[in-house]
Amino acid sequence: MSDGAEIVIRGGVVVDAGGERTADVRVRDGLVVEVGSGLRGGRELDASGCFVAPGLVDLHVHLREPGDEEAETIDTGARAAARGGFTAVVAMPNTDPPLDDAAVVAAVLARGAGSTCDVVSSACITKGRAGVELAPMGELYGLGVRLFTDDGNCVADAGVMRRALEYARSLPGAVVAQHAEDPALARGGHMHEGAWSSRLGIPGRPAAAEDLIVTRDIELAALTGAAVHFLHVSSARAVDMVREAKARGLPVSAEAAPHHFTLTHAACAGFDPLFKVHPPLRTRADVDAIKVGLADGTIDAIATDHAPHTPEAKERTFEEAPPGMLGLETALALTLTELVEPGVLTLADALALLSWRPAALAGIAHRHGGPVAAGRPANLCVIDPAATWEVDPGRLASRARNTPYGGRKLTGRVRHTVLWGEPVVVDTEAQR
Ligand SMILES: [Zn+2]
């Protein structure tokens, strides 16, 4: 993509699934061409004091296009992703129209081509995300879709979920991803059902809504042999059940979002809709269980559930505002600050959760997630682990401003992002 332009990333510590070593990285024609010491020439990017890692991969991003371009577009979302160190994101299908149709998916892929981050499309499990009739999964698979989900909605009907899994089994690498919240139990609720919802008088969504669907879908994975992925796992019981399912050898995977390991339901005390999200922020015990699940390998990926909303939407009351919060530009720093610095995860484990494990789940491991080696695609991020910064909602690349972390001081920052050999972020600034 960079038309023969050569870049040398100098003075960093290369880290990928194979380990760490001090090395320079030479990039040309979209590929890594040389990893070694004392490399010079072309344009040089300083990586002293930094880690040079495979670009991050986010399994769960709402880009809002088509249908809600006031909140985010594929272009602004891709820029936010690049600033966050991501070189690939999986776009969720709850757009308007939804991604349940080959023409709409093809349009999203076309809009994403040439942006500052690779945009991978998911597609709906059911037509209109209505949970009744299966979407044309085979045709969508033919366009490259590997992750099917009705995200935002749970596939509540066990028979429909079973048929989706049986169909997915015939599509190598396809994953059926569930937004696990039983709608009958969660309906009318706006935050976690517990001590804080009682105190605030806000109707709650019980953790049991999540736990019931997780236990049901684990049994459906056992019944069908097809791969089930649990989006944004947030309850301690759900983590335990995923751990047990893996011990049974079932094809089950899970992701967790940064807000579910950094915030509790107490954050809703001020009735600020910035903290409203589905599934909701839960208890300290749930947060601790997510951390254990990330550390012991139960949870496969950190995924942001980046959910942009216009200021008007988030200025409504807590009960009227839509759920969701931004994630792309803070995910890595929150992981480093809240998990790596306190010793919950090693840096390599954190990068596994943010890069190569989600790349494998998304079916893009040949393009993203490393290793950083000659002949491999030059999709890289350079991380300064010591940089400290304060989240300023006014300076985000996202079109939206609904981060719950405004004013929070974080340690660790993406310095450069390289996409197919092109530096799309240099010294934390987007290049286009
Ligand atoms: Zn969801």
What is the pLDDT, as a whole number, of residue 169? 97
- Comparing CA positions, the residue from 149, 138, 142, 141 lying closest to residue 180 is 149
Count CA within 13 A, CB hemisphere, residue 273: 20
Q: What is the mean pLDDT of the chain?
A: 97
Q: Find, among 128, 117, 64, 68, the residue nearest to 92 by Cα.
A: 64
Beta carbons within 8 Å of 278's beta carbon, 6+ residues apart = 152, 179, 181, 186, 205, 323, 324
Cα dist from 164 to 106, 175, 255, 421, whole Å = 22, 10, 20, 38
Q: Assess whether pLDDT exceeds 50 at residue 9.
A: yes
Q: Where are the domains of the chain?
A: 6-52+374-430, 55-361
Tell me, what's the pLDDT at 5? Answer: 86
DSSP 114-148: TSSSEEEE-B-SBGGG-SSSB--HHHHHHTT--EE
Looking at 17-172, which runs of residues are DSSP E strands? 19-28, 31-36, 43-46, 51-54, 56-61, 86-91, 118-121, 147-149
State how far the Cα of 153 lies from the Cα of 159, in Å rounded to an integer. 16
CA of 179 to the centre of ligand 1 (A): 5
Residue 192 · residue 265 · CB < 8 Å: yes
Q: Quick one: pLDDT band at residue 4, thresholds 50, 70, 90?
A: low
CA of 50 to the centre of ligand 1 (A): 34
1 has a pLDDT exceeding 50: no
Are the C-beta atoms of residues 418 and 91 closer than 8 Å to each other?
Answer: no
Q: Are 146 and 172 in contact (CB under 8 A)?
A: no
How far does residue 92's CA lie from ligand 1's centre (Å)?
9
pLDDT level of residue 257 (50, 70, 90 thresholds): very high
Report the 10 Å Cβ neighbour count for 223. Answer: 12
For residue 3, report the distance from its CA to the centre of ligand 1, in Å.
39
Query: What count of Cα atoms within 13 Å lies in the side-chain half-sphere of residue 410?
Result: 25
Q: What is the pLDDT of residues 26-84, one digit of tens each?
A: 999 999 999 999 999 889 999 999 999 999 999 999 999 999 999 999 999 999 999 99
DSSP letter string over 323-359?
A: P-B--TTTHHHHHIIIIITTTSS-HHHHHIIIIIHHH
Q: Which of 305, 349, 384, 427 is catalytic?
A: 305
Distance 40 CA to ligand 1 centre (A): 46
Which residue, 24, 121, 99, is CA-closest to 382? 24
Decide the pairing of beta strands 86-91 and 118-121.
parallel
Residue 146: predicted pLDDT: 98
Q: For 273-321, what is each residue's pLDDT tens digit?
A: 999 999 999 999 999 999 999 999 999 999 999 999 999 999 999 999 9
- Interior CA angle at 95 toward 93 and 99, to 5°? 45
What is the number of helices (H) and of strands (E) in the chain?
14, 19
393 in Cβ contact with 75 (< 8 Å): no
Region 328-336: mean pLDDT is 98
Residue 404, pLDDT above cutoff 70: yes
Architecture of the domain made up of 6-52+374-430: Roll (2.30)
Please name which of 105, 10, 7, 27 lies closest in space to residue 374, comparing C-alpha atoms: 27
For ligand 1, the distance from its centroid to the CA atom of residue 9, given in whole angstroms, is: 37
> Is 305 among the residues known to form the active site?
yes
The arithmetic mean of pLDDT across residues 81-106, rounded, is 97
Confidence tier at 2 by pLDDT (50, 70, 90):
very low
| Class for the domain spanning 55-361 | alpha beta
DSSP state at residue 88: E
- Beta strand 6-16 pairing with 19-28: antiparallel
Contact 334, 405 (CB under 8 A): yes
Which helix (H) or strand (E) segment holds residue 211: the answer is helix 207-224
Q: What's the pLDDT at 41?
A: 85
Beta-bridge partner residues of 20: 15
Comparing 6-52+374-430 with 55-361, is the CATH topology the same? Answer: no
Predicted pLDDT of residue 131: 98
- What is the rounded average pLDDT of the residues 404-415? 98
In this prediction, residue 3 carries a pLDDT of: 52
Ligand 1 midpoint to CA 232 (Å): 7
CA–CA dist 50, 336 (Å, integer): 13
Q: What is the pLDDT of residues 104-155, one digit of tens each?
A: 999 999 999 999 999 999 999 999 999 999 999 999 999 999 999 999 999 9
What is the structure's pLDDT at 376? 98
The stretch 348-373 carries a mean pLDDT of 98
Q: What is the pLDDT of residue 432?
A: 87
Tell me the mean pLDDT in the region 327-345: 98
